[in-house]
Amino acid sequence: MTQNNIMVVNPDYLVSGSIVASATTCVRRSVLANRYRGYDAGNKYMLFGSILHEIFQKVLVSDIKDPVEIRQLAESIAHTSSYAHDMYSIDMTEKSLMDGINEYLPPISQFLVKHVGPQAKDKIKILEVKDIEETIWSPRFGMKGKIDVTAECSINGAGSRQIPLELKTGRPSYSAEHKGQVTIYSLMLSEKEQGRATLEGVQPGFWLISKMGQCSTYHTLGQLLKV
């Protein structure tokens, strides 16, 4: 709603969900980061994150759980030409790259055994991967985003629903920014699936902290208002 009491139904500009989530700590930071994007040469942790996202998505789609196969896949991905420029820009050798990547692989393997497939023993079960890097947008809410993994999941044995799964490769964090991002993706995904989105209809989203193999569920009902 504008100052002139005009309601915008189909906005010309959609704001990224991650930018909206980052505004929970500082509104100015999210605006400045979106409008003034400078060149960033990156660092090894950003490179690790890019490679681990690709590894995680491919093992989910291909249903690879064996640690040896996961490591072989990691090596083949890390040695592709698409990451050569990033390695060169931060002066990193292939050995240093793989040493860093290998630290994350055992927890990912444990996560796959624990959560993926109908026979998984945890209360959160990933039954099917629906999409990878799904681009989603909602003119109603004026937001857009790209979900790491859109999965058909069952929680506590209840009926399956599509919910977002985000991979976090940095240090463990349960900040409002991370919760907000998952909440926004859940909101837009619920709107897409049901044709509308209400607090009662929004499904929980969850994210995986790759270095710990820990999966955290964020129940959006009620908590959405706090974010």
Q: pTM score, two decimals?
A: 0.78
Give residue-wise pLDDT tens across range 175-193. Answer: 677 777 888 888 888 888 7
Rounded to the nearest 10°, the torsion over CA 213, 43, 75, 166 is 40
pLDDT value of position 194: 72
Q: Report DSSP letters for 124-164, one per residue.
A: EEEEEEEEEEEEEEETTTTEEEEEEEEEEEEETTPPPEEEE
pLDDT exceeds 90 at position 58: yes
Give residue-wise pLDDT tens across range 20-51. Answer: 877 777 777 767 766 766 556 678 888 998 99
Q: How far apart are the first and last CA of the chain?
A: 20
Residues whose CB falls within 8 Å of the CB of residue 112, separated by 6 or more in sequence, listed in order: 59, 60, 64, 65
Residue with more model confidence, 211 or 154: 154
What average pLDDT does range 56-66 have in this prediction? 91
Give residue-wise pLDDT tens across range 116-135. Answer: 887 787 888 888 899 999 99
Residues whose CB falls within 8 Å of the CB of residue 201, separated by 6 or more in sequence, listed in order: 190, 194
Task: Determine the 3-state secondary structure of 165 from DSSP.
Answer: strand
Task: Determine the 3-state secondary structure of 37 from DSSP.
Answer: coil
Torsion-angle region of 82 (φ positive above 0: left; ψ -120 to 50: alpha; else: beta): alpha
Give residue-wise pLDDT tens across range 66-112. Answer: 999 999 999 999 988 888 888 888 888 989 999 999 988 988 888 88
